[in-house]
Amino acid sequence: MLGFAWRGPLAALVVAASTAAAPVSGVDVAAGTAGVSSAAAGARTDTAAADTVVFSGGCFWGVQAVFQRVRGVEVATAGYAGGSAATASYGMTSTGRTGHAESVRVVYDPGRVSYGTLLRLFFTVVHDPTQKNRQGPDIGTQYRSAIWTTSPRQARLAHDFIARLERNGIFQRPIVTEVHPLDGFYPAETYHQDYLLHHPEQPYIAINDLPKVRALRRDFPDLWRTDPAPWRTTGPRPEP
């Protein structure tokens, strides 16, 4: 897996509306995010059963590491989405020919963290949604940006959220994030789970993923959890 340096200013896009924010790359952040709040993306404060959504945003090590630290996330599992069970392995997915994207299944409590908040983190902390079939020098369709929804409501809110970002000119380039109904998620091999927790000093992690986790803690202190959410499988894991 090749690395890229995460661009920290993206995290500043979603500071609270009451917080003064300086322009980022010529964008008035405070004005630009008007109407892109969690409420606009279906925030809920009622206690409800756990819900699930799957995010693809480049290497799943970093995606998992961020969502594991979000208060209200109950499970964050690295895996594969977009292809068949027969080819759901790291070796085959890495060819870029299976249809899979490296992904993370997020099980969350809507009474503690809204779907809208997860979308905000995905678009501002987790990855760059303007890079098509890549994240930095990690190149291939397996690194594409995608949201795999588990209900029509999730899909509608995701499309609405992307449209708001585009209308407000948050990014200088078009957003290329795909939105699809989830038709299968396959947990990754055990050695990929909790990868950042087990290998915090590995160069790829130190350069690419730890900055994202630090940005989450710095810019979203109310969402930060000190104990990372576990990963969990619901079926057989593919062999390495």
Catalytic residues: 59
The residue assigned the tokens 């299944």 is 105
Neighbours of 85 (CB within 10 A): 12
Backbone angles phi and psi of 14, in degrees to 5: -120, 30
DSSP state of 226: S
The residue assigned the tokens 């949201």 is 147
Distance CA 192, CA 229 (A): 15
Expressed in angstroms, the distance from the first to the final Cα of the chain is 16
Distance CA 102, CA 186 (A): 10
Q: Are 90 and 192 a contacting pair, CB within 8 Å? A: yes
Q: Are 136 and 1 a contacting pair, CB within 8 Å? A: no
Identify the H or E element spanning 178.
strand 178-181
Q: Are 78 and 104 a contacting pair, CB within 8 Å? A: yes
Pairing mode of beta strands 145-149, 178-181: parallel
Neighbours of 44 (CB within 10 A): 16
What is the length of the chain? 240
